[in-house]
Structure 1
Amino acid sequence: RNKCSNPQTEPRTRPPGRFLEDFGLISFLCSICLDVFTDPVSTPCGHNFCKDCITEHWDTNNSCQCPLCNKIFYTRPELDINTFISQQVVKPGEVPCDVCTGTKLKALKSCLDCLMSYCEIHLEPHLTVSGLKRHQLIDPVENLEGRICMKHDKPLELFCKSDQTCVCMFCSVLDHKTHDVVPLKEEYEGKKAELEKTEAEIQQMILKRRLKIQEIKHSVKISQKDADREKVEGVQVFTALKESVERGLNKFLKEIEDKQKTTEKQAEYFIQDLEQEISELMERSSEVEQLSHSEDHLHLLQSFSSLKAAPPTKNWTEVRVRPPSYEGTVVRAVAQLEETLSKEMKKLFEAELKRVQQFAVDVTLDPDTANPYLILSEDGKQGHSSDVKKKLPEHRKRFSPCFCVLGKQSFSSGRFYCEVQVKGKTEWDVGVVRESIKRKGNITITPKYGFWAIWLRNGNEYCAREEPSVDLFLKSRPEKVGVFVDYEEGLVSFYDVDTAALIYSFTGCCFNQKLHPYFCPSDNDDDENSAPLIICPVKQTV
């Protein structure tokens, strides 16, 4: 059937189901094609048609006239889309009416008895016909067959908790009579509550992840800020070094050139004197030659006396132009550069120490880890060894026989810093350790066994406990040692706080456990090493 054929030239027959007119639901049908609207539009007189139907109707007639009220439009009017009717047409994701032909309207209800879904038009009999009123209507759903028991052809309106499946009334008294069966609504409410709880948990997880994203973005901003600061400071330092090198080079070249100019002036002075004497000698030679060829006896004898009385020439035997000595010139220039470099390095170390001191944490000694020969202060800030072993309860955390103690605080992320006074001691260990380190018997203090530490032995032998050990040659004996850890970076650095000098850094460390500050005052050594290790409050030194 051609929906857009001319009703005036082709007779129309009403489709089956004349009850549509009887119940006043003809408003969803086009009066031209007598079918559900397709692209419904409204004329200025307020009547509705399929867009193609009214357009073809006007194209095949001499005038634009409304097919319903016969109102004539002398100029073809613009057609308005009827949004109300358009909203009734099924859209993707909506349940279509099973009765509609052609363009389908969206279903308003689904019938569990008919196993069909109905739009507002085709639902009307279920609302008015007595036999249909008893049917069970639900909100529109697809796959109605899946809501009917395949065995008993009855609605699935119960839930078997024992088998975790939906059943019908017959199933509950036949196949599931000993099971825990409840109405679908009851199980629905329970499951809905679980879903709401799950949804709340998911939303909480989403929130945490969004906060983590903000945290990561904030970390990136901080990192960028630190990178920019490092760039500025680095450019300043290297610019100063470059200028210092250029000044040193210019000074070095000038010193060499000045010495060479002095040598050249001295040589020039000697040459001038020599050339002057040569000129005088040549003149005297000419006179001698002339006199020697004279045959006048009297003249020769009279002139000879005057020649003999002429002043003697200068003795040039010992006169020399010695090249200047350049020994040590380069060395002195480099030494000057090294001094400048040391000053710049000191500035860098001071700035670096100031930055790491910002991550200072409050550390106290853990008595449960202290060797029985160690004496700790009440505030947990000092520890030293004694000759008397205390009677302490055995504890798996306690060091024995090593004279060691850990900080109570542990760290598994971020950065932290603390300072320890080692003044007056001849032996000590300072660093950080993994929580799972060995604490009984012989202990190997290296990163492989969870120790990142430096130590002093025999009063002046400093060592970084690497594998193998690294001897440290320090310009001065530290009295206060700063310990800095960057967990994510895998970095442990030690500083001489008073001189702001970097003592040593462990880099590329792999941290996968909690870290604890580590201290070893070592034994008393006949009171030679009786001074305590003291955890000091951090005060910025620069």
Structure 2
Amino acid sequence: MAANAVSQECDDTELLTCPVCLELFIKPVILECGHNFCKSCIDKVWDSSDKMPACPECREEFQTRKYSVNWLLAKQVEAVILRTGSTEGNSVEGRPPNSAFCVQHAEKLKLFCREDETLVCIICRDSAKHAGHSFLPVDEAASLHRDKITTAKANLQPRLQELVELQTKQEQKIMDIKDHASSLEQHIRSEFAVMYQFLQKREQSLIQKLKDEEEETLRKMEDNLRSIKEKITTFEKMMSDIQSTLGHQDAVAFLTAVSNISELCNSVEQTGGTYKPDLNCGKLSFWHFTGPLQYSVWKEMKSIISPVPSSLFLDYNTAHKSLVLSQDLTSVVKIDKHQYFTQMDSLAVAQLLSLTSAQMSTLTADMLEMKIYYTAVLASQMFSSGRHYWEVEVGDKAWWVLGVVAKSVIKEGRIPQSITFGHWAICLQAGSKYCTCEQVPKLLSLSIKPQKIGVYLDYEGGQISFYNADGMTHIHTFSDIFKECLYPSLSLDFGHHCSKPLKLFHLKL
């Protein structure tokens, strides 16, 4: 009886198997020819062909894709699944994912196919589908995979932790950037607010001055107008009196009236011009309100600009002996005495550079000593706080170094070319190679060759920035913590004679 029941179940299972996937039907549908298939299976068969839809079993062709759900067959499939011991049946929508019995053979799932990585029964093991495959007992396979998964989890855990920490750090960096951007926006608004306030105050002052001048000018003109009207009234009365006198027919009355009129006329002739006031054209001092108005206001803005471009001067006592400073201490050249004295005498050199007698003595020193230093000179101004900005005219010179240096670094007018602290500078080499002056120099990409370099120092902010001063295009920024007094520095080196000076730019307003 039991054998017959199993046989019956096997027959039922075969009848309930899709001829395409050879598995129990999932949402079976019936075609017009009467054959049944899984809905997904027949859709795939028809989707893979560009011919007319046809039955995979009998090959009958149809004009359109047409089928209907076979609910009776779906109920039979569900009954088989429940009968084979599944506790989590999928009803019509699918087969049991974790059934302890083989849905095809109704045998208990005791083996694990290593090649297909699926649970199989004894009958499946011997089928052609699993020919040549190796199998493990279910418990052993579960233990093996549990170890693998445990190992994988152990490997994933630190990576997950790293990613979580990285996520936290990234989120914090994003917040930092947002906070920094907000702070910079506030800084920009604050800086412009000062200028707006200054311009508005200056605008209101000029407008008020114009109104005051307009009021005073109009007052004088209206006073003159009243005087004119008063005199017109006086003359009109005289004209009326004269006309009245001319109307007298009686000689005595006429002569009596004439004597009065004559006295009045004589009075007018004696007063002369007082009866003819001047025309007051009025005039506003437009030169106060026109002219180079924007330029004059711009000059006044110097009082609120921070930092105001510094007018630096070079310190003769810090200059290397191969460098010669101009008399006004704003420019520097490097002299190769052998090259110069073969072309002109020392007096010509002195005239060219406006050298003092003390500076002339430096031309006879040993200027060709080879050292691994930049020959430099410092500005006489030093900075230990605040924000400062200055500009240096570099022109078309092919070799220069400029920046900021701690005084403790410079020795006898020399700055080591390769240092890690106390010197923040950029340089131009061979007319085209811009780079930072660091132990590991960083190449700088400039689209335009600057004629003038701007240097900005924010001591408390730990910032030294370089700009193309003509358009204030940013070149490079150093960030550090400053602990010493800092000096602007200029250098002309690389063993090359420089015939044109490196010059400090003084803004003149």
User: What TM-score bracket applies, with the shorter chain setting the length?
Assistant: 0.3 to 0.5
Which one has the bigger helix percentage?
Answer: 2
Q: TM-score, normalised by structure 2?
A: 0.40
Q: TM-score, normalised by structure 1?
A: 0.38
